Structure 1
Amino acid sequence: MSTHYPELHERVRRQAELLPELYGGLDFDVQPYRTTTDPNDVASLPGKPETRAKLLADEAAVELITTATWLGDVVSDSYAALMGQYSVSTLIGMLKQACRQGIDTVPDAPPELAAFIADMESTPDWLDMDLVHKGAEHSRLPMALLAPFVVRGAFIATFLNTYAALPMALTGALSGKRAAGRVNETTSFFAVTTLPGALDRYGPGFEAAAMVRLMHSMVRFNALKRSPKWDIGIYGLPIPQIDQMPAGMINLFVLAMDARRQGRTEFTSSERAQVEFTRYRCVLLGLPEEMLPTTPDEIIRVFSARAALLRDDFDDSTCGELVRSTMAAYLRQENTLSERIADAVEKSYSKAFFVKTFCGGKRDVAAKMSVTLSAGDYLRIALTAPFVTGRLLLVQQAVRIPGLRGPTNAYVLRLLKKRLKAYGTPEFTSDAAEYTPSGRAA
């Protein structure tokens, strides 16, 4: 069978050569149990069997998913592997200084850090950076006005499969009070990247992306080297790039589905700018071009192909617990009456968004995943919808009027900065000492 993605194929295999300590014992020619191309197996893709059959017959799509299932982040992983020589706080401190002041300002900077920063500084020539900056502006509005009400619903969507959710379960980062911190960290990351110039070389979004990559690499290293629960034959590589793609591009999937429902095969100019902005953000997170499509059909195809090959499994002790702890988390910094009301409203919107976007509107399906919509949820949405959706529509219209564009953008920026303050200061860390014996073998 011909190779459709030779460069990606070679990149995967070079991992063992570049970082044998982590990748030397992996067999990239054998897929883990989590991946299935058997039409008789139940996969994560919802819908009709013929839809999955069509995707399984797509050789290029199957190759992309199976190859990316073994794709990690050698550059960041190599730096994370220095945990045996440096403390976690030292690694974080050096990375932050290199992001803020340059690699030359870090005393005795290890070569792994220099390679990490150089990789992030290398902007692919296939990106349109003018479009990236326009996309950041277009993305700022929904991050300020819509995301705060639905982000939890999108966040829990990443926990619906045992094989993909296990790394997060192992870290214990979504148990008890720590769940709120992780949700706010994730929301803060996506929000800060939309600030003006945030993804430029010395911008806060650039640093945040580096921190997220390091956190993922620490989880990957600790799961493979220090967790007895991680079975490579079952789960494969912890946090492979194919599992980072849905979280990084979930906004584009929503745009693509909206375009398909409207009968469009192309994005509008503002949507296309958001696509390019998201692609660049994903590049900073380590994703390759092959996994960053630009059209509605291709985005849906990649998302669907991943689900078509990912074996279905919702282990309640892993996935269910992650969903419940995330939904129960109190995300506000203060415990006042108004903040508690705001938290309840946000949970209602997040649940409704989750049911509509990830469960096809079927509440019974969502209930099986520990997400239930009550009469109280519908009442809260009904009472606040005129403000939430009304303000969103009003601002969307105002930003299109030349005379109002400047003041409107200034208002959105002030609101976004207020949101960021409410999310708190993200840590983006992973401590192996806090890992939990979650998950189960198949």
Structure 2
Amino acid sequence: MLEQSLHYPDLAARVLSQQELQPALYGEIDFTAKPYRLSDGPDDESSLPAWVAKRAPLLADERVVELMSTATMLGDVVADPYASLMAERSFKGLIDMLKQACREGVEAVPDAPPELEAFIAAMEHQPDWLDMDLVRDGARVERIPMAFLAPFVTRGAFVATFLNTYAALPMALTGTLGGSKAARRVNETTSFFTVTTLPNALDRYGPGFEAAAMVRLMHSMVRYNALKRSDRWDLDVFGIPIPQLDQMPAGLINIYLLAAQAKRKGRSEFTDQERAVVEFCRYRCYLLGLPEELLPKTPDETLHLMHARAALLRDGFDDATCGELVRATMAAYLRADDTPFDRVAESVEKSYSKAFFIRSFTRNDTEKAAAMGVSFGKADVARIAVTAPFVIGRFVAVTAASRVPVLRDVVDSYAIRMLKKRLATYGNAEFTTDASTYTPVARPLANTA
């Protein structure tokens, strides 16, 4: 029960405060009830693969179980009230005010509502642990993979977010992952992570700060529309739409990979360069609204939290929800133009994304991946074999050059130019959601009785 929180009373109070702050949206929700998606029983089927980690020790950790259970019911206590103004204002007007507040300050917005002031103030607040110099160093390190590797694998990582019915349902509900809308969502996601790595992007008036605010607003709009404008959302099954817990995997994937690498090498601490990346990712997540309790600092903490999240998320791959999202994303055409070169580049990117997905999320099980909607064949192998010397070779060469002090600035300038070219191809990120496009969704296959 949240009222009896033993380990995270501040986080529990934050969850319960949602009713007081937004009675119209959250007033009828029982935040002490356990949604069906929360698999805290020893015999429950969870999303944690046996080959990744053992589930029993995680369930025996009372502290982490409480954290996962509490964070499952946490929305966004400052962005949600602002998004709820949709009941009386146009969402375009809300977007315009937020953009102006990010670029010029909230004082520049005529008749700024108090909800906007609270939203911006929360984002402007810098936690005690923050080291902005370290954040900038981390962004510089991250620019290289974002410029030279991410464009070839982001689709595969994006698809991985659709492998669980309970976590994927909000995206299915919005009806925005078919055809051009699917491409837009993938490009918006890639654009967000790309723009945040630009120099000083996460500073108060940087483009990454604004992008984070827009992502938060989009998520809050989905929550509002799911709860107030759709009769398809079952609170007893799914809990809060897009809880902060479900933003953790995408936000911390880089740290998780570093933590796994450190573990393999027998290290219990991050290196100085890794520590910079960790600081960068933690602050980016903080700007997205994640509570500090979900922002690990060490390799062990990172692995423990990420594995615990999967261990307490009920397993479920519903083809009508997950399968459709996967297939739509894999079929989406992401390129801005339709020249022969673009068509070839698109096919190459898809092959790399498939390979990344299969290696990272199915343990190289191509049959399992195919059943999920990601088919990998001989043509994909051929495309990767032909292009790997350039794609992988360039990434390795640039990474190595960045570690040479006299070349560091030159390499960084090269990476920045590439990032800006990438951003131009991703197009203008809108970060919006429209309730009129929301579609019926299938209930999970599991029996909730």
Which TM class, normalised by the smaller chain length?
A: over 0.9
2:230 aligned residue: 227
SS in 2 for 1:51: coil
Q: Secondary structure at the match of 2:372?
A: coil
Counterpart for residue 199 of structure 1: 202
TM-aligned CA deviation for residue 406 of structure 1: 1.6
Taking structure 1 as reference, are residues 50 and 87 closer, same or farther at Cα in structure 2, changes over 3 Å only? closer
Q: Cα deviations across residues 125-155 of structure 1 (Å, max 9, x unaligned)?
A: 1222221111111111110011001101111
Aligned mate of 1:269, from 267, 272, 296:
272
Distance 2:425 2:138 in 1: 24
Deviation string 1:28-57 (CA, Å, 9 cap, x unpaired) is 211100111111121111016981111110
**Of the candidates 359, 379, 385, which is equivalent to residue 356 of structure 1?**
359
Change (3 A) 1:110 1:274: same
User: Could you tell me the TM-score, scaled by structure 2's length?
Assistant: 0.96
Structure 2 letter corresponding to 1:54: P
Task: Return the match for 2:325 from 308, 322, 330.
Answer: 322
Could you tell me which runs of 5 or more consecutive residues in structure 1 were left unpaired when the two chains were aligned: none
Q: Say what the alpha-carbon RMSD is for the aligned residues.
A: 1.3
Q: Which residue of the other structure, out of 96, 113, 127, is the alignment partner of 1:93?
A: 96
- 1:156 is aligned to 2:175: no
Contact 1:44–1:310 (8 Å) recurs in 2? yes
Alignment partner of 2:262 out of 256, 259, 277: 259
**Counterpart contact for 1:170–1:439, Cα < 8 Å:** no
Matched residue type, 1:384: T
Deviation at 1:75, TM superposition (A): 0.5
Quick check: 2:136–2:280 contact (8 Å CA) kept in 1?
Answer: yes
- SS of alignment partner, residue 103 of structure 2: helix
CA–CA distance in structure 1, aligned partners of residues 351 and 264 of structure 2 = 25
Contact 2:5–2:12 (CA<8 Å) still a contact in 1? no
Normalising to structure 1: TM-score of the pair? 0.98
> What does residue 425 of structure 2 align with?
422
Distance (Å, rounded) in 2 between the aligned partners of 1:396 and 1:283: 27
CA distance in 2, matches of 1:2, 1:420: 44
Match of 1:311 in 2: 314
CA–CA distance in structure 1, aligned partners of residues 51 and 108 of structure 2:
57
Read off the aligned partner of 2:14 and give its amino acid letter: R
Equivalents in 1 of 2:279, 2:344: separation in Å?
36
Residues 380-391 of structure 1: pairs in structure 2 closer than 5 A: 380-391=383-394
Contact preservation (8 Å) 2:163, 2:322: yes
Q: How many matched pairs?
A: 442
**Which residue is 1:104 aligned to?**
107
Which residue does the alignment assign to 1:237?
Answer: 240
Aligned to 2:404: 401
Q: Secondary structure in 1 aligned to 2:349?
A: helix
Change (3 A) 1:15 1:423: same
- Match status 1:187 vs 2:200: no
**Cα distance change, pair 5–318 in 1 and its aligned pair in 2 (3 A):** same
Partner in structure 2 of residue 58 of structure 1: 61
How far apart are the structure 2 equivalents of 1:440 and 1:112? Answer: 34
Q: Does 1:343 align with 2:338?
A: no
Q: Does 1:288 pair with 2:307?
A: no
CA–CA separation in structure 2 for the residues paired with 1:364 and 1:259: 30
C-alpha distance in 2 between matches for 1:387 and 1:158: 28
